[in-house]
A and B are shown apart, each in its own frame.
Chain A
Amino acid sequence: MADWEELAEALADYMISCNSNERLRKMQRDWSRTLHFVCSDNGTTFSMEVERGEILSTPEGHVGIPDIVVSTHSETFCDMFWGDLNPVQKYLRGEITVRGSQEDVMRLDAISAVIWPDA
């Protein structure tokens, strides 16, 4: 089980990877979303604010009205944000649940594919 401190570390790494990736920023320039995350094992919640492809913040707790809500084990979130697993496989096993549009789910996977091409 990962605590908030470790999740925050993973999120910070993810945010730097995304925001410093010019290719990704260009690809995602039409994507502005509020994402909510729920850790199914320890109840930790956090948010991500994306504005025209740039991750603006990843605060603890739920902030704003979500376009997408993603739920899974805290360990899976950490591995996902560090690019140590392919989230689609977890999704297809029912271990990651996503409420939101299918396009947004695919965007999340595309982000992973661009910043972690070997995941």
Chain B
Amino acid sequence: MPDSNAKRQALEQFATFINPQKVRVLKAAGLDIIEAERSGPWVWDVDGAKFLDCFTSAGSFNVGRRNPRVVAAAHAAVDHLDQGNFLLCSQAKAELAAKLAEITPGELSCTMFGSGGGEAIDFAIKLARGSSGRPGIVSAVNGYHGHTGFALSAAGRASFRQPFEPLMPGFVRVPFGDLDALSAAVDEHTAAVLLEPIQGEGGIVMPPPGYLAGVRAACDRAGALLILDEIQTGLGRTGRWWASEHDGVVPDVMAIAKSLGGSLVPISATVFTEELREFLIPNPFIHLSTFGGSDLACAVALEVIAVIEETGLVEHAAAMGERLFAGLHAIAAARPEVITEVRGRGLMAGIQYAEDSLGPRMSYHLARHGVLAIYSGNLPSVMRLMPTLVIEEEEVDFLLAALEEAIEDLVSGAGPEAAAPTRPRRRPVRAAGWAAS
């Protein structure tokens, strides 16, 4: 039942007890959505408005929102499990780790669990430094790996790091896609190179052909590890289980999170080789996480993987991605003044707009047409489209139609109407601008 009072109250409480500026910005952008019902690729605002979710919490809902099988697995787990004692061995953890060894490539076979992506990256970096005895970490400009300590030190966006400096020493950033720059930065002091196979927050930036293979080779030459952050790109998002498969590259360490929790529970996994596990043999308690890989979360994650496998979701994502990209390219060709490039793979698409302000403005217009889509934080001129992988043809077509209509509204100059002033103007009476503005 739509309830505008509930929305007002939620926004007021959020502003009072969490952050008023977040409410102000989202309201102004037409994104003051209080999620109520959620199902498959759709979400409903508490006031009844329906949206095709193309943000999906930055790619966290691959199996759809409240997937019935995953919800049932969660119910069943709650009936007889809880989070479990993190210090003890656990059947649920063991089963999920075995499954991850099966679905990840190459010699990746051992897992450390966490509760979020940043924690997974933190452990990956600890493992790289601990096992190699080297301090250096090379990451990419505009890369995004989370907001925890080591992960933040690797972040490619200065504004995320600067208020908290000094951060961890030993971190170097190079332009993504520039193999010469990366090769020059990797040496005998480098513990690991940390990259996303496709930059997500950075604006759906594709690796140039051969880049990731070249990075792998540079790591091998220097004896450095390759850590791939598949947190947004993994679990079928790009039409393969892992985005790095497109490039035929196998990392030494892979970070997985977001969709592993099936939109229901927090869980992340750092998967690595048996050779790297040697560091943990004499140090079995050196990295601990109270909620990392809780028994409940592991049960849910196992069902998420089963859904992806048994429903052919990876292949489905590839097919829906083809339809999506065909439509996006057609719209881009018809609207070159608005869209200058479309890029991505599978159901990870980036629309490059002609200038920065079009990202926020198109988020506003798309929401008016029933699509929830957010621009890239590190590159506001890019709209990220990362719908659930359970999206069907008619929903892809809905998205494309909404995009065309939103562009129409944009070029016609539509936008939020200024609210009527509720208090006397401050501007002195002699000025004549009030009515005009």
Contacts and interface: CB of A to CB of B under 8 A. Distances in A.
B423 A109 contact: no
B163 A88 contact: no
B169 interface: no
B298 to A, nearest CB: 38
Interface residues of A, number: 36
B-side interface mostly:
loop
Given A2-B431, A92-B28, A94-B415, A82 B361 contact: no
A98 B359 CA distance: 13
Nearest to B27: A88
A84 B28 contact: no
A78 interface: yes
Given A93-B414, A93-B415, A93-B416, A84 B434 contact: yes
Given A88-B28, A93-B413, A110-B21, A98 B427 contact: no
A102 B356 CA distance: 8
Interface of A: 2, 6, 9-10, 13, 30, 73, 75-76, 78-79, 82-86, 88-95, 97-99, 101-103, 106, 109-110, 113, 116, 118
Contacts of B428: 9
Nearest to A87: B28
B61 interface: no
A92 B415 contact: yes
Kindly name the residue among A73, A89, A99 whose own CB sees the greatest number of chain B CB atoms within 10 A: A89
A101 B431 contact: no
Contacts of B30: 92
A78 B428 CA distance: 10
Contacts of B4: none
Contacts of A102: 356, 377, 380
Contacts of A79: 427, 433-434, 437
24 contacts: A10-B427, A73-B437, A75-B431, A76-B433, A79-B433, A79-B437, A84-B421, A86-B28, A88-B25, A89-B419, A92-B30, A92-B360, A92-B415, A92-B416, A93-B413, A93-B414, A93-B415, A93-B416, A98-B356, A98-B357, A102-B356, A102-B377, A113-B21, A116-B426
Interface residues of B, number: 37
B319 interface: no
Contacts of A92: 28-30, 360-361, 364, 415-416
A91 B290 CA distance: 45
Given A75-B433, A89-B28, A82 B427 contact: yes
Interface string B393-423: 0000000000000000010011111110111
B425 interface: yes
A75 B25 contact: no
Interface in B49-74: none
A53 B391 CA distance: 47
Contacts of B418: 85-86, 89-90
Given A78-B433, A92-B28, A98-B357, A103 B415 contact: no
Contacts of A91: 357, 360-361
A93 B421 CA distance: 18
B9 interface: no
B25 A78 contact: no
